[in-house]
Chains A and B, each alone.
Chain A
Amino acid sequence: MANLIKTRRGLDIQINGKAKEVIEKTIISDEIALIPDYYCGITPKVVVKEGDIVKAGSPVFYNKKNEAMNFVSPVSGKIIAVNRGERRKVESIVIENDKKNTCEKFIVKSPEKHTADEIKVLLLTTGLWVYIKQRPYDVIANPTQTPKAIFISSFDTAPLAPNYDFVIGSQMTDFQTGIDVLTKLTVGKVHLGVKAGNTIFAPVKNVEITPYEGPHPVGNVGIQINKINPVNKGEVVWTINAQDVLFIGRLFNKGIVDLTRTIALTGPEVNAPQYCNTIAGCRINQLVDGKLSLNVTHRIICGNVLSGIKVTTSGYLDPYATQISVIEEGIDTHELIGWAMPRFNKFSVSGTYFTGFFENKFVQKILGKKNYKYDARLMGGKRAIIMSGEYDKVLPMDILPEFLIKAMIAGNIDKMEALGAYEIAPEDVALCEFVCTSKLPLQQIVRTALDNMKQEME
């Protein structure tokens, strides 16, 4: 085990609704949908039509830019719609779940008996490749490259994030197999970041384990890469979410594609936050109906409150999401001269509110833990960057975020490259976006800039 890495910069946002460590039940909706927009940097080419019968693991569409890259059905059933939008853009492919769960069978051996190329082909055909992402650009990994290392974080520090010890702890055999598969794909090491003092992931073999300690975003794999083996120009590292390693493990243990996962239903507007088993593409209403507070307009988020995706109850679960967060929308809140009021129930890292007072350990002993109120409002108008040093305080990387962001806004690719754009993903600046006084959409700025950069460089 490598030495402990401690970070000080960052922020743990105090928000209610952490999931109780109980798995409620398995919810797999009658309708499952694949939404190409959830996958970054691909162009879908649909291979099924309405009425086709698919099994779990059958391809539904592939990536035009890399035709070997399949996107597969998570369940068995019938295709009931291929929805297209403007200019025939594929919006969603809806599958009626026959609840029989018939699976495509794939011929697999134990990982060490496969060559790297065989593994790549297997992962691409079974649609599991899409879970492997790459830095630079934070997109689905390019299978023709070989990364200098693969990074996995075994803990999530985002607000109300699921506890991976609880979610993965009972499936360690699949996890180990998944790791063994990944080791074949890199010339370097597979790095596993663990929370300091963790014992669940300590026995995992064939990985370099590094313990971390600190506030969010230390659990982000981007921070861990920056601390251990930063991405330089011309280099590639791959990343995969620890929960998605299980999918790969299951494929090599059982020969089937099993995309079920345990997600956490969290947030202040959830009556009883807890875990449930579900599947990628599950309809949202079946996951949340009857579990939310009444008389409030809800904002339902696939993922955490910082970098998740907004969905409606008629939407479908993001295949990458490990949690659902529900907060108040706030659109019908009108605060009279709020900027001049004390607003004791508001959370702020700036000293202009009383958060610092309520978060003081001594004060907390007397008054107890403070319940802050959150909603989806921006809480102010968009401005040019005014305050300095705000972003640095929540980004524990050797990067000057403000200057990188300015280069990105200006579209200056040389400057972006020089300032560390290869190392960054939108989720890494999510906290910067949270604390920004000028209310700039930083994650969107980073995403657009990385897309442009990829286009220019490749």
Chain B
Amino acid sequence: MDALKKIVDKVKPHFEKGGKLEKFHSVFDGFETFLFVPNTTSKQGTHIHDAVDSKRTMIVVVLALVPALLFGMYNVGYQHYLAINQDVNFFETFIFGFLAVLPLILVSYGVGLGIEFVVAQIKGHEIQEGFLVSGFLIPLIVPVDTPLWMVAVATAFAVIFAKEVFGGTGMNIFNVALVTRAFLFFAYPTFMSGDAVWVRTGTTFGLGNGSIIDSFSGATPLGQIAVSPTTQVQLGGITGNSIGFIDGFIGLIPGSVGETSVIAILLGAVLLLVTRIASWKTMLSVFVGGAAMAWIFNTIGPDTAAAHFPWYNHLVFGGFAFGAVFMATDPVTSARTEKGKWIYGALIGIMTIVIRVLNPGYPEGMMLAILLMNIFAPLIDFYVVDANINRRLKRATIKK
């Protein structure tokens, strides 16, 4: 450790003002604070500080995403070998998925952090950690076969136009990862909304060579419902086997990389709730709002497949659980008042189901519901704050 500190101290002057590498000051500072807790002490105000900081917060969120990522990697391999009807061991399955997902992670982090570094340097502030989470979320919410250049373009768009133009982490209105997903969805609709991208049928770095079985269908459960001619749908896996609630809960079904397994997502949810980084109020109200709305459609809804889709199934298929746990609870873009969080969460749940059921164009409603509520979060807060202001005005004797 001492040796490392010496090296850092030795190169530090080059990055300070007037040094040869002054242009890379923010990057250096980013690495230095990554390696060592900054020893800046308080000058005034509180002399001691809570040990938590934004790096700690972000790393916990990343840890919470790890189960979903690992399961997602395994599932990518599992779906692939199912599609080519080959029986391989656990390890090989995982390696296939690992190699398929790794490029997505590298591209997302590479592009996003690259922009973050450049912007930090231009503005002369410290590198903000927010993208550590966004960059990890992006590979989890895209289909595995999304071309890397598309991911790169979408990430760049989201980081610049959804975050940096607003002033960086903490100032953004929209969830950056969801903007990436929305960009992909609307910029490349023919590619992103078909049935072909959800399962990797080709090889990955030469692995998993084989021909696809005849009965193969890559449609996701929600995709199947959207196109169903009948009102009662029997969901099927990629080989045509019938699937139900429990399969959606476990998650060995086609879908975006990290969204399929409710078990893995719940593991992350437990960590987020224990560490109190995510609001249990938001999380719970998304599920309650979604379940209630789906139940209403089940009972009095139109006579379509989506409306008849049981409410409990709505919660485990598609991106519902993933969105509720990791996206709706993003503290920056969600409602910031405690009362507001209940309303915000419930409306996300409700909107998701409304979009799924009533809009034939979009089989999945989570992304749009959260982005929509991102817009309304400040409005919700406005009314909660206004109530506080009015209480104060009421007891005042001098009005204006």
Contacts and interface: CB of A to CB of B under 8 A. Distances in A.
A108 interface: no
Given A230-B395, A380-B53, A380-B54, A308 B37 contact: no
B337 interface: yes
Contact of A376 (B48, B168, B396): B48
A402 B338 CA distance: 12
A359 interface: no
B36 interface: yes
Contacts of A379: 37, 49-53
A47 interface: no
B10 to A, nearest CB: 14
Contacts of A385: 170
Contacts of B18: none
Contact of A336 (B35, B48, B52): B35
Contacts of B397: 232, 234-235
A350 B274 contact: no
A432 B337 CA distance: 16
Interface stretch (B243-251, B252-260, B384-392): B384-392
A352 to B, nearest CB: 5
A378 interface: yes
A398 interface: yes
A305 B48 contact: yes
B205 to A, nearest CB: 30
B7 interface: no
B121 interface: no
Interface stretch (A91-99, A189-197, A433-441): A433-441
A262 B395 CA distance: 40
Interface stretch (A73-81, A137-145, A325-333): A325-333
Most B CB within 10 A of own CB, among A301, A398, A434 = A434
Interface stretch (A57-65, A288-296, A338-346): A338-346
Given A348-B52, A352-B52, A437 B41 contact: no
A450 B35 CA distance: 39
A414 to B, nearest CB: 10
Most B CB within 10 A of own CB, among A13, A377, A398 = A377
Interface string A415-446: 00011100000100010011111110111100
B52 A353 contact: yes
B36 A352 contact: no
A388 interface: yes
Contact of B398 (A234, A331, A349, A388): A234
A442 B49 CA distance: 12
A443 B53 contact: no
Contact of B50 (A310, A347, A375, A376): A347
Interface in B30-68: 33-57, 59-60
A374 B337 CA distance: 31
A458 interface: no
A403 B167 CA distance: 18
B86 to A, nearest CB: 39
Majority-rule SS of B interface residues: loop
A313 interface: no
B52 to A, nearest CB: 4
Interface in A345-389: 346-353, 374-389
A384 B171 contact: yes
Interface in A3-46: 13, 15
Interface string B143-182: 0000000000000000000000001111100000000000
Interface in B91-110: none
A350 B396 contact: no
Nearest to A383: B54
Contacts of A329: 41
Most B CB within 10 A of own CB, among A329, A347, A350, A402 = A350
A87 interface: no
A434 B46 contact: yes
A378 B38 contact: yes
A142 to B, nearest CB: 17
B39 A350 contact: no
A337 B276 CA distance: 22
Interface stretch (B134-142, B316-324, B328-336, B358-366): B328-336
Interface residues of B, number: 62
A456 interface: no
A105 interface: no
Interface string B8-42: 00000000000000000000000001111111111
Contacts of B171: 384
A335 to B, nearest CB: 4
B41 A375 contact: yes
Contact of B385 (A383, A387, A403): A403
Contact of A437 (B42, B47, B54, B396): B54
Contacts of B130: 386
B272 to A, nearest CB: 9
A420 B392 contact: yes
A306 interface: yes
Given A334-B39, A336-B35, A339-B56, A232 B47 contact: no
B300 interface: no
A433 B45 contact: yes
Given A327-B47, A336-B4, A430-B46, A386 B54 contact: yes
Nearest to A337: B35
A109 interface: no
Contacts of A420: 388, 392
B47 A299 contact: yes
Contacts of A84: none
Contacts of B46: 305-307, 430, 433-434, 442-443
Contacts of A386: 54, 57, 130, 169-170, 331-332
A434 B47 CA distance: 8
B397 to A, nearest CB: 6
B288 interface: no
A233 interface: yes
Contacts of A353: 51-52, 56
A392 interface: yes
Contacts of A234: 396-398
A343 B51 contact: yes
A419 B335 CA distance: 18
A202 interface: no
A126 to B, nearest CB: 30
21 contacts: A299-B47, A305-B48, A307-B45, A333-B39, A335-B37, A351-B275, A376-B47, A377-B42, A378-B38, A379-B37, A379-B52, A383-B54, A384-B170, A389-B338, A398-B391, A400-B337, A400-B388, A418-B393, A433-B45, A441-B44, A443-B46
Interface of A: 13, 15, 230, 232-235, 299, 301, 305-310, 325, 327, 329-340, 343, 346-353, 374-389, 392, 398-400, 402-403, 418-420, 426, 430, 433-439, 441-444
Q: Which 10 A-B pairs have the closest CB atoms?
A: A380-B53, A384-B170, A351-B275, A346-B51, A338-B37, A339-B55, A232-B396, A388-B336, A234-B398, A376-B41
Interface of B: 1, 4-5, 33-57, 59-60, 126, 128, 130, 167-171, 274-277, 279, 331-332, 334-338, 381, 384-385, 388-389, 391-393, 395-398
